[in-house]
Amino acid sequence: QVQLQESGPGLVKPSETLSLTCTVSGYSISSGYYWAWVRRPPGKGLEWIGSMFHTGGTYYNPSLKSRVTISIDTSKNQFSLQLSSVTAADTAVYYCAREGGNLLDSWGRGTRVTVSS
Amino acid sequence: SYDLTQPPSVSVAPGQTARITCGGNDIGTKNVHWYQHKPGQAPVLVVYDDSDRPSGIPERFSGSNSGDTATLTINRVAAGDEADYYCQVWESYSGVFGGGTKLTVL
């Protein structure tokens, strides 16, 4: 059974870059599927950030596209999120997930990131 | 952008039926997926492609989709079903979520 675990700093300063990593176990990233990031700001609903195929194809939320980079490290069975020029509006719980058929069939438990000086 | 509209909250007594709607322009032409999200836990896919259930999801959970409205139906609601529920579609090369519905079991 695939398992996903997010990790990264819980506090990021405004204007800096948020960096998170998702470690996948129970499934090899290079075997297929897209690998996605989703976030949930406090008091709000889920927001799709983007996803990446192991061979490099990516889809990004148009509203975040200019600031988002998703990358994959198949040797570590990990994928990562970088979100640049963060503001308080980027404060959220960030989730990684496995995407297939344009749906998310397995998720991590999430990691809370606060943007504050 | 494509907007999905969900009621902020739905309340139902134990044993009754809960219906959570997801409105969108011609949503009946899209595949709709539903997620259950409990505090502090990973979201769980409960219905996909309008009306299919992943393995391990009780038959009490079902879905339908037609016209401008998709619906998640939960029969014989139990206390453990209390959670936020989100609909999701794929549009313009990105996932889109509804605003979420908080299901309260009275």
Angle at CA of residue A70, ends A68 and A73, nearest 5°: 155
Query: First and final CA of chain A: distance in angstroms?
Result: 39
What are the per-10-residue average pLDDT scores of chain B (106 residues)?
Answer: 95 97 97 96 96 96 98 97 97 92 97
CB A38 within 8 A of CB A46: yes
Mutate: best of B34, B44, B94, partner A, most A CBs <10 A: B94
Record: contact B94-A105, CB cut-off 8 A:
no
Backbone Cα Rg of chain B: 13
- Reported as type and span, the H/E element at residue A75 is none
Record: contact B48-A110, CB cut-off 8 A:
no
Which of B92, B89, B50 minimizes the C-alpha distance to B70? B50
A9-60 residue pLDDT tens = 999 999 999 999 999 999 999 998 999 999 999 999 999 999 999 888 999 9
CB B66 within 8 A of CB B20: no
A43 interfaces chain B, CB cutoff of 8 Å: no
Which of A4, A8, A1 minimizes the C-alpha distance to A78? A4
What's the pLDDT at A50? 95
